[in-house]
Amino acid sequence: MASVTLKGNPVGLSGSIPAVGAAAPAFTLVKSDLSALAGSDLRGKTVVLLTVPSLDTPVCQAETRKFNERAASVPGATVVVASSDLPFAIKRFCAAEGISNVHGASDVRDRGFAERWGVAIKDGPLQGVMARAAFVIGPDGKVKYSALVPEIAQEPDYDAVLKAASGK
């Protein structure tokens, strides 16, 4: 079981981060149009899966904007930003920001998602939402990149994520 910090204070997580080379844990998230986005539907594609606490926070917004801008650098990749926000809030944010290269998705119907991916915050002020992490799932369904951001208030290593997604 891993832990991260929030503004320097330790925060415990439930579950285990999937290791590089392991099969990606199953998931079914909810897109902003309320349709399902299942990991099995993305098999055969490279998927950048990002978990964030909430799109109502500045760091999560900045991360989503940045991946939206840089997603085109990995042709054919599907970029998903998963949060515990309701699909309506995700839709509102993405529409207001012109987010079109990233799929916002909610764990509202799959509350076990965060624990299966090792990002479920189990204590502290953000208990019940997800820690910030980045994963790349290869077309074969195996994890190619797995990184838990150690400080929730920091952005991920964009270059490392995109490099793993592009296979370079």
Active-site positions read 60
Residues 6+ apart with CB under 8 A from 150: 4, 5
| Tokens standing for residue 116 | 């299966």
CA distances from 87 to 25, 72, 74, 103, 149 (A): 22, 24, 26, 11, 24
- Would you call 47 helix, strand, or coil by DSSP? strand
Helices and strands of the chain, counted as H and E runs: 4, 10
